[in-house]
Copies of this chain bind each other. A is one copy, B any other.
Amino acid sequence: MLDTTPEGRAAAALQALGDALEGGDIDAALARFATDCYWRDLVSFTWNLRTMEGKAQIRDMLESCLADTAPAGFALLPGEPVTEEEGIVTAWFSFETGVARGSGILRLNDGGIWTLLTTMAELKGHEEPQGFARPLGAKHGQGRHRPSWKEEREAEARSLGYSTQPYVVIVGGGQGGIGLGARLRQLGVPTIIVEKNARAGDSWRNRYKSLCLHDPVWYDHMPYLPFPPTWPVFSPKDKLGDWLEMYVKVMELTYWTGTAARSARYDAAAKEWLLTVDRDGEEVVLRPKHLVLATGMSAKPNLPDFPGMDRFRGDQHHSSQHPGPDSWAGKRAVIVGSNNSAHDIAAALWEAEAEVTMVQRSSTHVARSETLMDLAMGPLYSEQAVRDGITTDKADLIFASIPYRLMAGFQIPLYEQIREHDRSFYEGLERAGFWLDFGDDGSGLMMKYLRRGSGYYIDVGASQLIIDGEIALRRGQVTEVTEDGLRLDTGEELPADLIVYATGYGSMNGWAADLISQEVADRVGKVWGLGSGTTKDPGPWEGEPRNMWKPTQVEALWFHGGNLHQSRHYSQCLALQLKARMEGIPTPVYGLQEVHHKG
């Protein structure tokens, strides 16, 4: 008799799929999928981050990867109940490949497997030393001249980068580089993180003083060492900086502060990079096998080139250089831009009693932080989710199990709900002249972030100041900067003592151009974006963020970053790819990123 409970259906589908894959029977495997189907793989079958859409793509992947992968042991995860909601059965499972252990999430609809996520968790024989396998620490037994933990750490600090070479160098020591460095450390991959600032965490400390994270704490944990339950919902920048600084120390990372990466070139014969850095004034040439750029999506300021900027007699700077509002009481401040930084800086200047005008040059999406927390984040990343047993790791996998192709469709009704929930707020903004959007297709903030990484404000209070006219708003383009302010294409002149250019950041690709060469940067092509064919994210459709956390067209060059959630989760994929290469485990890459756009 057929077992028609959700558990029974999931177990049957998983077993049939597992049997087919284990037996190398691609047709039988495909027969388990629904017509409309998706398989997202994080480095377990493809040694890549790939979403296969439809049976043809799945067939192509399996024909290329199945024999090498040798998957086996598919089994429902004990302790994770199978659920059914609106006709969709969701189940968690574990599996193995020839070289690794993994886990995944399966969704069934009436036609069969609708979505499948497979993700690598650990390499066999190279498991992380934690839990039962954690190091002993003390040296029990007897032995002559055993160094202490401190002596070992000091010896490593002296030698790595000089008498011994790191396998990986990570350029950029923000949360991205640090989290990846921690994972590589646990995997025993010798790594140096180079950071231009004097202390870990300075990339946060150096920002405008009112800055707090716009994402809540449950979304922001670093690997291994979560924030304590006393941690604030939205981390103040300096507190986050202190956390990162202690994390570097506690996780025993080799982290070179005051170190600027000057130039890099790849020696294809030796299969290693020659990376020249300036370490506190000393030139050091590092020869890692792999180079990871983790310089952040917000590391290369986009300073505009308005006519007349050189003649302005007040203070002007990019938002990344803005020190805070303290000396601007009673002065006139103009903020060019209308995204997160623009709003935060405008509000802080208003608080300090400056006279603030915001110049909005293009439409902007706004969503209230509180509403996002309740309606968008809540189910996966909230205190309630934690109480409901959704650990950070589980939330990350659930989020990863939604194919990017389907995501906008899931987001549109959510943002319709948000629009309704905050109707009077949005009406107020529009009455104040704010040029509002919800993304090209109404899919809101998350999709804007994934597609273009810009174009929104998570409201923590500045919007009300705009609604109330406390922050003046102008719509238009800047035609020129004058001695005393700036002029808009509306003809209006805005007198200013201070101009803040909250005009965003360049692509991570630009960093590769600066550090390596324009030719290499062009070979890599555009970094970030899904190819959605929406504003600032031209097609063709890619199905995954371009060039992030996965092999690029340039050998041994990797890009890492994103928000704290992405840095945490995808650092695991990237660390496993690097570890496998170090151990000489074959890593045949399926579907290497093609380049359709230069950076």
Contacts and interface: CB of A to CB of B under 8 A. Distances in A.
A148 B370 contact: no
Interface string A243-255: 1001001110000
A353 B144 CA distance: 7
Interface string A189-217: 00000000000000000000110110001
Given A130-B230, A137-B232, A146 B242 contact: no
B134 A231 contact: yes
Contacts of A324: 148
A78 to B, nearest CB: 13
Best-surrounded residue of A131, A140, A210, A225 (most CB of chain B within 10 A):
A140
A128 interface: yes
A349 to B, nearest CB: 11
A410 interface: no
A132 B238 contact: no
Given A246-B250, A250-B242, A138 B234 contact: yes
Interface in A103-140: 128-132, 134-140
Given A137-B236, A230-B186, A242-B249, A144 B460 contact: no
Interface string A273-307: 00000000000000000000000000000000000
Contacts of A461: 139-142
A563 to B, nearest CB: 16
A230 B224 contact: yes
A225 B224 contact: no
Given A143-B351, A149-B239, A229-B131, A136 B234 contact: yes
Given A141-B464, A465-B142, A209 B246 contact: no
Contacts of A235: 137
Interface in A362-383: 369-370, 383
Nearest to A241: B150
A134 B229 contact: yes
A439 to B, nearest CB: 24
B238 A138 contact: no
What band does the interface of chain A fall in when counting residues whose beta carbon is under 8 Å from B?
Answer: 35 or more
B230 A140 contact: no
A589 B217 CA distance: 41
Contacts of A153: 238
A460 B351 CA distance: 61
Interface in A245-276: 246, 249-251
A251 B227 CA distance: 11
A238 B145 contact: no
Interface in A163-199: 186
A352 interface: yes
A150 to B, nearest CB: 4
A508 to B, nearest CB: 27
Nearest to A130: B229
A470 interface: yes
Nearest to A229: B130
A58 interface: no
A584 interface: no
A438 to B, nearest CB: 22
Contact of A233 (B134, B141, B212): B134
Interface in A460-497: 460-461, 464-465, 470
Contacts of A460: 138-141
9 contacts: A137-B217, A138-B213, A138-B232, A138-B369, A138-B460, A143-B351, A149-B212, A150-B239, A246-B249
Given A137-B232, A145-B351, 18 more contacts: A128-B230, A130-B229, A131-B229, A134-B231, A134-B383, A136-B232, A137-B231, A138-B232, A139-B461, A141-B460, A141-B461, A142-B351, A142-B461, A142-B465, A143-B351, A144-B351, A145-B353, A148-B210
* Nearest 5 Cβ contacts at the A-B interface: A137-B232, A246-B246, A149-B236, A138-B212, A138-B234
Interface of A: 128-132, 134-146, 148-151, 153, 186, 209-210, 212-213, 217, 224-225, 228-236, 238-239, 242-243, 246, 249-251, 324, 347, 350-353, 369-370, 383-384, 386, 460-461, 464-465, 470
